[in-house]
Structure 1
C-alpha cells in the first residue's frame, strides 16, 4: 500500500473511535514507512484511547524524534502525561508549543489542565481567561475554568461558566452534569435535579451523568428513584465501584443480599489498594453489617480504609503544625469587630464528622426565619492562608474575608434572620469567624468519640480532606488535636460556644431544641422538635437518617465493635477525654 493509503486507513479507524484497528494499522505503517511520524503519533493516540497511557508515551516520543517540530504529537504527549498526573513534565512540553504558537487554543487548554493537575487553580483560571478573551466560544475551556473555580470554593463563578457553556449549546451533557452540583450547593435544588435529569435523557449511557442524578436524588430524599438510577448504571457496567457503594447504602437487607454476588465479582476485578477496591469493600462491609456478620464487616471495612489510607496518607506533623499555629494566632480572649456585617447572621454548627451536625442543622433550620445552607467550604478556602501560613488575621483581613464570604452566599428568602453553616471542620476556624462576625453563634456537637469513630470508620468520605478517617490511630491523633483546640476556644471565647450533647439531643429533642433556639436568638417553634419534617436536600452521608424522627439507636453502638476500635480507643489522650478514659 502507498503512504497515502496507509495514512487514510489509520486515520479512518481513529476518527471512528476504533482504537484497536487504528493501532494495528499504524503499527503496520511504521514498518512500511519508518521515517513517517504520523504513524507512531496515531499509535500513541490509539493506546491512550484504550487507556494504555504509559504504553502510549514511547510512541509520541518516537514521533517527535522523527519530527522535532511536530507540535500535535507534543500536545498529545502532554495530554497523555496529564492522564498520568505528570503535570510538570507536561507543562514543559506545552511551553515549547506556545513559544512557537502562542495563540494555540489546544495548547492553552492543556496548559490550564496541567496547572490544575499541579494544584494551582488560580493559574489555570488566568490561562483559561486569557484564552477566552481571544475566543469566548470555547465550551471545554469554560468547563475547565468552572472546575478551577470549584476547586477554589467559588460555586457562583463555576455556575456562571457552566451557564455560559450551556448558552453555546443547551444540550452539552458534560456541562449539564457538572452544573448540577454547584446549583445544589447554592440551594437551587429543583434546577440541580432538572439539569441532571436532562443530561441523562440526552445521554442515557453516560455513567457520570447517571451518578450525578443518583446523588442528587439521594440528597432530595428520593430513595427509590435513586435506586433505579443505580440499577441502570449497573446494567451498563456491573463493576462500577462508585454505584455499588452508593447502592449498598440505599438497599434494604434483602436487596443487599441480591447485590452480594455482584459486589463479590467486582472485588475480584478491583486492583489492590485502589479506589475501586475501597468502594467495593465499603459496599461489602455494609452488606455484611446488615446480615449480622461482624467478622466479615470488620474485614471488608479494614480493607476499604486501608485502600483509602494508601491513596491519602495522614500527615501527623502537618496536622500538629496547623493546630499549633491556630492556637498561637488567638492567645487571649478574642475581641470581635465592633460592628457586624449587614444581612442574616451566621450560625455555625461544628464538631467532628458524624457527631450530629446534620441533625442539629435540621433542627435549627426548621425555624421559619432560618435558612440551612449545609456544609459550606467557602470559609476554609478563604482562610487557608491563615491556617497554613503565619499570616496575621488583621481587622482589615477580617473585613475582606467577611465581604468575600458574603458575596458567595446563595440567595435567601425574604425575612431570613440567620443561616446555618454546618461544615463540621469549621471548628478549626472559630477564632477567625468570631473576629469577622461578632453576631455569629457557635453550636458545638459533643458526642461519645467512640460512637463518632465507629460511624466515621463505617462511612466513605471522598476526596482528601479527611485523611485521618481511614486509619484508627490517625483518627485518635486528630481527635486529640480537636479536643485540645475546643478546650482552647472555650478559654478565649467565653460564653460564645453552646456545647450540645448529641445523646441529650436525641433523647429529649424538644428540651434541647428550646435551648438551641434561645442560644441562637430565636423564638422556639414546634417544628424544631420534628426533624423528620425536613423537606430540603441533604448533601452529606446523613441524607437518609435525618429524615427520620430523632432516635438513640446509635448511642453506645461502639461497644459491639470495641475490639475493632481498640487502636482508636487506646490512642485517645486521657487528659483530653477524661470522661471516657478516667
Structure 2
C-alpha cells in the first residue's frame, strides 16, 4: 500500500528530528518522482537539505516558494521570503539575500527580522552608513531587540546621544537574557574605546564578558595534533587545477579582513569572505576522521575536494586565485592542504596586546571559546603562534606578515603580497572605493576606511590594566618577532 503525503511528511520529519536529514532528503525526492511535492513538503525538503549541508540546493528550492510580489504577500509569503533571504545569506549570495530583504522591508519597514538581516547585509556590501539607514526606522521602537540596538551603536561613527542614553539603562536591565546584556555592554565598551575613554571601556567590557554564557571548550592542541598526523599519513587527494587557493589563517582582529579586501580588489582574485565551507566537515569532525580507515578517509577528502570546487565556482566563478579567511582553518591547515593541493596559507601577525584587547572588547560567536577571558585569549594567541610554527615545520607554505607594516606602509606591503601570489599590483587596490567585495566579518566597518595607523586603535591606553598579563605579552611578542624573523 502506497504512502500518502501525510505519511511521507511524518516519516521525513522523524528522520530530521533523529539527526538523519540526508535520509529525509532521499525520502522526499523519491516521493517527488512519483508526484509533485506540495508547499509543506517543499519546506521540509529545504529543511532537510540545509541541515545536510546542501545550502545551494536548499536555497534554490526555497526560492520557488517566494511570492512574486513580496511587498503584497501574506504572513506565509513573508515567512517564505525571509527563509529564502536567510538561506541566500548562508550560501553567501549576499546580493540576492539583500534583494529579498529589501522587498521585505518595503513590505513593512518595522519588520525587525528583515531589518536586522538587511542591516547586516548592507554593512557587508556597502559599509556602516547603509546599515545605519536600515536600522534608523526600528531602533526607536520600544520593542527593538537588544542585538539591533547593539548593532546600531557599533555601526555609527558618531551615534546620537539619544541612542547611547537608551542603551545604557538597557544594559543594566537584569530582566534581559545574559547574552543580550553582554552584547549591549560590549557595544558600549567599543563606543567608549572609540571615544578614547579607556577606563569606561574596560569596566563595561569586564561586565559584558562576565555575563556572557559559558562556551563549549575546544581542545585546540588536540585538533592540531590530529591534523598534523593526518597530513603526514595522507597524500593529496585532488589535482592542482582550477583557481589557486589562498587561506588567511591569522587570529581574529589582526588584519586578515583588510588583507583579503586588498586582494579582492584585483580582477585576478575572487573573495570567498569568511566562507569556511570545509570547517563543518573537517574541524568539527576531527575525531571521526582520525578513526576512519585510510581508504575511507581518502574518499571522504576527495568528495570534499569536488563539492568545494563546485561551491566555489558557483560563488565566484573561476578566477586565478580564490581567497578564504577564517582563524578556524589554522588547526586543520594540513587537511586543507591535502584536500586542495597547491593551496597556500598566510597570516598577519599583530602586537599580541592589541589583538587580545580587540577580541575582548567585542561580542564574538561561541565558536571562539576563548573570547570572554583575557587569560584564555592570551593562551589561544600562544597556541596560534605555535600552530603556525608547527605547519611550517611540516613543510606547508605559510607566509607570515606584519600588521604594523600593513597599516604603516600599505603600498610596499601590497607590492610584496602581489609578488608572492604572482599577480599584478595597483596602488588603486588601497582605495576603499575599489575594495567593493563583501566583508562578512566584524571588521567590515574598519575595512571601508582608508588604511592608516589611526584606524587601528591599540592597547596602549590600557597598559596599566594589562599589567597582570605583562609576562605573557612579552613572551608572545618574542615569539611573534621570532616567527616574523624566520
TM-score interval w.r.t. the shorter chain? 0.7 to 0.9
Residue 440 of structure 1: CA displacement?
A: 1.7
- Which structure 1 segments of 5+ residues have no match? 1-100
Question: Within 2, Cα distance between the matches of 1:158 and 1:550?
Answer: 39
Question: Within 2, Cα distance between the matches of 1:289 and 1:186?
Answer: 34
Contact preservation (8 Å) 1:357, 1:445? yes
SS of aligned partner of 1:177: helix
Question: Within 1, Cα distance between the matches of 2:43 and 2:276?
Answer: 20
Question: Within 2, Cα distance between the matches of 1:567 and 1:105?
Answer: 61
SS of aligned partner of 1:549: coil
> Within the alignment, does 1:381 sit opposite 2:280 as a pair?
yes
Contact preservation (8 Å) 1:446, 1:502? yes
Correspondent of 2:256 among 341, 354, 357: 357
Contact preservation (8 Å) 2:112, 2:144? no
> Within the alignment, does 1:439 sit opposite 2:342 as a pair?
yes
CA RMSD of aligned residues (A): 3.3
Distance 1:563 1:138, change over 3 A: farther
> Within the alignment, does 1:202 sit opposite 2:107 as a pair?
yes
Contact preservation (8 Å) 1:152, 1:381? no
Equivalence for 1:509:
410
Equivalence for 2:377:
475
The TM-score with structure 2 as length reference comes to 0.84
SS of aligned partner of 2:371: helix
Contact preservation (8 Å) 2:182, 2:207? yes
Equivalence for 1:366:
265
The TM-score with structure 1 as length reference comes to 0.71
Contact preservation (8 Å) 2:13, 2:44? no
Contact preservation (8 Å) 2:127, 2:448? no
Flag the structure with more relative contact order, 1 or 2, with Cα contacts below 8 A and sequence separation at least 6.
2
Question: Within 2, Cα distance between the matches of 1:265 and 1:138?
Answer: 49
How many corresponding residue pairs? 467
> After superposition, what is the alpha-carbon deviation per residue over 1:490-528, rounded to whole angstroms, capped at 9, x for unaligned?
11125x121111111111112211211121122323333
Distance 1:154 1:459, change over 3 A: farther
Question: Within 1, Cα distance between the matches of 2:391 and 2:31?
Answer: 50
Correspondent of 2:331 among 403, 428, 434: 428
Question: Within 2, Cα distance between the matches of 1:193 and 1:338?
Answer: 35
> After superposition, what is the alpha-carbon deviation per residue over 1:396-425, rounded to whole angstroms, capped at 9, x for unaligned?
443222112112224366662111111232
> After superposition, what is the alpha-carbon deviation per residue over 1:125-183, rounded to whole angstroms, capped at 9, x for unaligned?
53466367557655466446545544555431331232233279964222322333443
Equivalence for 2:442:
541
Question: Within 1, Cα distance between the matches of 2:14 and 2:381?
Answer: 40
- Which structure 2 segments of 5+ residues have no match? none
Equivalence for 1:409:
312
Question: Within 2, Cα distance between the matches of 1:158 and 1:238?
Answer: 32
- Higher share in helix: 1
Equivalence for 1:46:
none
Residue 327 of structure 1: CA displacement?
A: 2.8
Most deviating of 272-281 and 563-572? 563-572
Question: Within 1, Cα distance between the matches of 2:27 and 2:236?
Answer: 40
Residue 544 of structure 1: CA displacement?
A: 1.2
> After superposition, what is the alpha-carbon deviation per residue over 1:351-385, rounded to whole angstroms, capped at 9, x for unaligned?
10111111111111111111111011211122246
Residue 455 of structure 1: CA displacement?
A: 1.3
